[in-house]
A = this chain, B = another copy of it.
Amino acid sequence: MVRADSQHKSNLELVNECDTFPYPTANPQEYIQYISTYYHFVVADQTVGYVLPSVSEVFRGIPGFELNDDAGTLTLVSGENEEERSAIIAKTGGALRVTGHFKVLEKWRNELYPVYGKNRELLFKIERAMSPLFGVVTYGAHCICYTNGHDTEMMRLWIPRRAAKKTYGGMLDNTVAGGIAVGEDPFEALVRECDEEASLPQDIVRQSAKAAGTVSYFHIRDERAGGETRLLQPECQFVYDIELPPDVVPKPNDDEVQEFYNMTVEEVREALAKGEFKPNCAIVTLDFFIRKGILTVQNEPDLIEICSRLHRRLEFPTM
């Protein structure tokens, strides 16, 4: 049997692999049926994520949480304010890490992610590794560094290969990509990651990085992410481009990246089609190609669908 990975993937198939959660518009009734298989994670009277029944079950009886099977809700009932809620989440997460209920908690990061409410208020902080258990929105900054931007034929992209020991080990990535922690500004997160992952000098990044909006999607975790499958990851990436001078060469600075390749647009397109990119980095690359006029309605029959899917409107409050 031929593995799907070894076949040629269309750009829309790449999008489908990342933005996997179904859409309500095609068939609203079917969608309602589908999401009713998840519990709503309710905090301060707001749904901030969806939780698998098997995950919700673990929280039955844990103080501070209330499971309502009829309503289909897992509610954080304790905590009057952000600090108290964060404390309960942290305490429970720490304990579940010890009990070993969830494989995802084995990748504990000691990084706190923010979860926001409808009025952009910080509802609580949560350890990064815990966030897929509750299906809450997480944020990152992704940057593509390139040279010779004036000419698509001459353009080169700096593409790293992820370290083998990481999740999605050995796959291709965006030049710099990382999560945004509580209280961190997306641009400052980018500056930090540019140093940590690619040894790019701060002054070049501050001077040359251009913001280009967001890419958002609703991912269902599969085997490749490690840990439990079917956990939900609605994500929003702040996207940046940096046109580097030819003499500035990204170099690995931590253990996240094996090496950087200097690839032509054509080489990147081939690597995409071969499924060599980490799924969310693939679609950030598609967004770059669309904004740069490389993917157009002339060469991409699914352009309209892809443009929409790269900017999914998430049904939870965001930053």
Q: Please give the number of chain A residues whose Cβ is less than 8 angstroms from any Cβ of chain B in the complex.
A: 43
Using Cβ atoms and an 8 Å threshold, which residues of chain B touch A25? 24, 313-315
B308–A216 contact, CB under 8 A? Answer: yes
Chain B residue contacts of A24, Cβ below 8 A: 24-25, 28, 31
Q: Which of B23, B210, B301, B313 contacts A120 (CB 8 A)?
A: B301
Task: Determine whether A296 belongs to the interface, using a CB cutoff of 8 Å to chain B.
Answer: yes
A32-B29, A298-B187, A313-B25 in contact; A236/B304 too (CB < 8 A)? yes
- Residues A307 and B214 in contact, CB atoms below 8 Å apart: yes
Contact string against B for A residues 209-237, beta-carbon threshold 8 Å, 1 for contact and 0 otherwise: 01111101000000000000000000010
A186 touches B291 (CB 8 A): no
Which of chain B's residues have a CB closer than 8 A to the CB of A42?
none
- Specify which of B32, B213, B214 is in contact with A28 (CB 8 Å cutoff): B32
Minimal beta-carbon separation of A30 from chain B (angstroms): 11
If over half of A's interface residues share one DSSP class (helix, strand or loop), that class is named, otherwise mixed; here it is mixed
* Cβ contacts A277-319/B at 8 Å (1 or 0 each): 0000000000000111100111001011101111111110011
**CB of A26 within 8 A of chain B?**
yes
A160 to B35, alpha carbons, bound, how many Å? Answer: 47
CA distance A186 to B293 in the complex (A): 14
Q: Name the CB-closest residue of B to A212.
A: B291
Q: How far is the CA of A308 from the CA of B303 in the complex (A)?
A: 16
Instruction: Establish whether residues B318 and A312, one from each chain, have CB atoms under 8 Å apart when the complex forms.
Output: no
Q: Report the bound CA distance from A296 to B211 in whole Å.
A: 6
Within the assembled complex, what's the spacing in Å between the Cα atoms of A296 and B141? 13
CA distance A254 to B238 in the complex (A): 41
Report the separation of the CA atoms of residues A305 and B312 in the bound assembly, to the nearest whole angstrom.
9
Instruction: Tell me the bound Cα distance from A291 to B29 in angstroms.
Output: 36
Of all chain B residues, the one with the shortest Cβ separation from A216 is B308
Determine which residue in A26, A210, A238, A308 has the highest number of CB atoms from chain B within 10 A of its CB, and name it.
Answer: A308
Closest to A289 in B: B213
Q: What 9 pairs across the A-B complex have the smallest Cβ distances?
A: A25-B315, A308-B313, A311-B311, A210-B293, A24-B24, A211-B296, A213-B290, A211-B293, A214-B307
A-B contact pairs, 24 of them (CB 8 A): A24-B24, A25-B313, A25-B314, A25-B315, A28-B28, A28-B35, A29-B32, A185-B297, A187-B296, A210-B293, A211-B293, A212-B291, A213-B303, A213-B307, A214-B303, A214-B304, A214-B307, A216-B307, A236-B304, A304-B319, A308-B311, A308-B313, A310-B311, A311-B311
